Each structure stands twice: as C-alpha cells, then as structure tokens.
Structure 1
Amino acid sequence: MIEKILLADSGIGQSEEMLKALMEIPSIQGASVTILHVVPPQASADAMTQSWESGGKTLAKAVQTLQLDPNRTTAMLREGDPKDVVCRVAEEIDADLIIMGSRGLKRLQSILENSVSQYVFQLASRPMLLVRDDIYVRKINRVMVAMDNSASAQASLKLALSFLRDIKGGQLILAHTNPDLKVKRDEVEIDPNQDPVLIPAIAEAKKLGINYRCVAPVGKPGARICETADELNVDLLVLGSPERRPSVAKALPDLDRLLGQSLSDYVRVYANCPVLLVRTVS
C-alpha cells in the first residue's frame, strides 16, 4: 500500500507529470506527498543565495502545477548533494515510493556523469518510479509486470493489482521470459496453462476482476521485456529489483547495477515507458 510518496523534483523532466498520472489512480489518491527540491552547495555566499531563491521558485511552481491536497502535501527545500539528500529524506519520511526523473544514461556513463537517479537506484531500499526525460507520460491503464518466482516479482504483482483494481478498463499484462517455452520468437501470446509461474498471478487477477493477458517474450529478458512493452503500448512497467547485498554492504553500490549488468538496470535505461522498480531483500 502506497501511503507516502517522495517526489524528487529537479524542475526539469517528466517527474511531475508522472505524479499527476499516479494520483489519478483511486488507491493512491489518499497518499501524502513530499515534494523535495535539493540545492547543491555553491562556491560563494552570493551564489548560494541565488540557488536558494531559484530552488524556492522551482518548488513553488511544482506545488502550483500539481494542485495537490494541501493537507497531504509537504514542500521541502534542502541543501546538499542531491544523491545523498534524496536517500536521506526517503528514510526520514519513511516513503513508500520515490518518484524521480532519469536521463536514461547507460552503464558507467551514469556514474561518470554523477547521475542522481542511478545513485538512488543503487542505494535506496524503497520502490522507485523512474521516468526518463524523453518519454511521454500517459494515463495509466495498461500495467505490465515482469514475472518469475522471486519475492520481488510477487511484490511487483501485488502493487500492480492494487493500482488496477479500481481503474475502469485497466489491463494487467503478465510477462514471463522463459526460454523453455516452445513458442516462436515473434509469438508472445501464450496459453497460461503452459507456464506455472503465471497461474497464481492469474488467480489473483481473476479474484479482483481485473482484465489480464499473458505474454512470453523469447530471447534476452531485458531486451524482450522492453520490446514487448513497446509493442503493447504499456503505460507502466513494474519490475522486481531484489536487494542482493549483505546487510554489512548496504551502503556500497551493487556492482551488477553499477556496471549495467542487472535486468532492472537494463530496463531502467531502455524501456520507453515509466518503470517502477520494486525492492525486496533476497
């Protein structure tokens, strides 16, 4: 259940449009929202003053544009390194979801260019909704969930179902990339009875009266998930991103994500729709 949302608003990109689309979902409308804008440190006092003034204007504009319930909205202006501040504030307010814009930088490029979203993606322990700056945010009707037997996939399904149960005309797309299925690469529609991973998910969708379809993209999972989301005009892609680091290494980057080798990192970069990454501890 999403009750506390942190919007990391840089003043550019599509994160505000993403929040608007999300707040149209009935199960989300009662959530409280913290809109955070971070002012980076400056070399001089005058430059710092100007940055604070500019940041205040950005924050005020965001509040005005979003037109959220003032009783459930907090505007927050903080100074510091945006990467660290976003993670820290998420912990402070106990956010159930972080929404951030992303330039979609690939692999080490995101590290070398000091990408805020990549840093938070590596270190945050909370679900993240990433929206690339160059994509169009649509009303959420078609939600695709990448399924397997992991706990993070089950958590992704649960979140997607909570979105769709009150969306009239909504559709759940269950995708399981399984190289053992005997289907041709261009045949993504499958008989769900062939795939035991999808049977419990279908039962949950039926229980809530949610329209669903099942697809089995054949090939490299990351690429085929992104391609299938494109082909089916998916509005939101939900993907598990399990925490694999031991507790003593939680403050260190995940090397798979750092090098762009994880499935979630690939989808984060290449999917042409917003991507909701659901974190669970493995």
Structure 2
Amino acid sequence: MEDLEKCWCGSGKDYASCHKEIDMKIKEYERKGCIVPPRSLIKTPAQIEKIKESARINTAVLDHVAEHICEGMSTEEIDILVSEFTKSKGAICAPYQYQGFPKSVCTSINEEVCHGIPNKRKKLQQGDIVNVDVSTILDGYYSDASRMFCIGKVSPEKQRLVDATKECLRIGIEAAKPWGFVGDIGEAISKYAHQQGYSVVRELGGHGVGLEFHEDPFIAHVGKKGTGMLLVPGMIFTIEPMINEGGANVVIDRYNGWTIYTADGKPSAQVEHMILITEDGNEILTY
C-alpha cells in the first residue's frame, strides 16, 4: 500500500499517518514467530464508536439491575428488568436465543459459576451472591459485562471471595497492554487468585467482542506471560475471571445443558469488563 493512500481502517487519514506503523510492528512480531491478530480483530474508529454506544447501554442495564435487585426477587424478575430496559433503549439482549439460550440474561447464584438460567421459582435469599451477566446488541454491535451482587448480609467468606474476584479483574486489566500478550493477563490473574487461596476456572474465559457476540481471541484467566496472541491497539475483548472458593473443576447441568457449577459445590464469583486496547494502555468500555 502506498503511504499516501487512504488507510484501510476508514479513518480518512493517509495510511502512513494512521495504521502503517502498527501494521509494520505486527509483521515484526509475526516474523519472530508470535501469534498475531488478523486485521478482522482490529476494530476501526467507526466500529469502536458504535461498540461504545452499545457499551453505554449495557452499563446502564446493569445500573438498572443494581437499583432494583433485592432479597425475595426471583431471577425471572431480573430477566424481565433486563429485557424491558434494554428494549426501552432501542437495543436487543444478545443472550436471548443465542445457540438456544432461553432467556435475556444469565443469573448465577453461589455455586453456579456462569450461564445460570432465570427462573420464576428461584428467588434470591439473604446471604446469596449472584452474578448478573448482561450482553447488548445495538445496531448490530455487541457489548458485554457482568457484576456480582451480595444479597443482604453475606458471610465473611463469600464477601472475601467477591472482593478477591474484583481484584483479579483489576489486575487482569492492568496487565492488558499494547504489544503485550494474552498470557500476561492469565498469569497476573491466576497468580493473585492462588496467593489468596482460590482456584481459577480454566475451561471458560473472556473473548473478543464487538462485531459478534464471541470472537477471537480466547482470554484464559490462567497463563504464562509472553505467550498467546499479541495484543494490538484496536482489539476489543472481555476479561471475566471466574474464581472458585474450592477446586477449579466445574460441571455442566445435565438437564438444561447450560448452567456451569463448581464440581465441589463451593461458591464461585465472576466479574466482567470489556476493554479496548489503545496505543498507550487500555480503556474500559463496560462496567
């Protein structure tokens, strides 16, 4: 590509003043044998702005849940809250009918690691910890985040688990830097979790997001620094550590085929943000 040609990203700038330096750096890492992202994983400025619009609604949905979630509420009522609020913003709940998932949001309580299905018979009780995982589509652009909620007074052990999981997320985001690697994130998270006496779920992780619900790369929450895919400005993905009080092993509900539980029945916690890799760090897009 000639330097004076317009950049492939659609910014309207000359290639030389836009993505040329980044592209050359990617090729340099590729020559060294590193796994590099294809251009399809590097979001354009226009795509980033649309994804951010979706992300703002996604955060507003979780804020709405935070205002209403309480003891005695059924997880079905959470699903209705999410569905109605999302529709009021002109958006769509991404989980609904995604690969057959029957509801608009995931609600995972205590030993449920993720993908809990809302149910009118399942009501929140004092002492529960619950993950509410919200994903939004706005004009074809996707966003994703989850929060942990403590219902009433929870045990010191559960509160410590939730607090440690939030810290794992913070540490993982801090490790996600341009020209670093996916493995940097996993090593940082797992090191802290293990120091606190917890285990990290290996089978599930974060993922690229924005143009599709789930894109590459897979973001493992265990790993080795300097391994995995190269992190490049313009990449958008989630970091969502699932931290277990007991062992790391998980099982899937054999009846609904979705809900993941800790194998030993001990509590699990998860918090998720979506981030954009920038030229000098990262930007958190969903909370």
Same fold, judged at TM 0.5 (above): no
- Sort the TM-score into its range (normalised by shorter chain): under 0.3
Normalised by the size of structure 2, how large is the TM-score?
A: 0.27
Normalised by the size of structure 1, how large is the TM-score?
A: 0.27
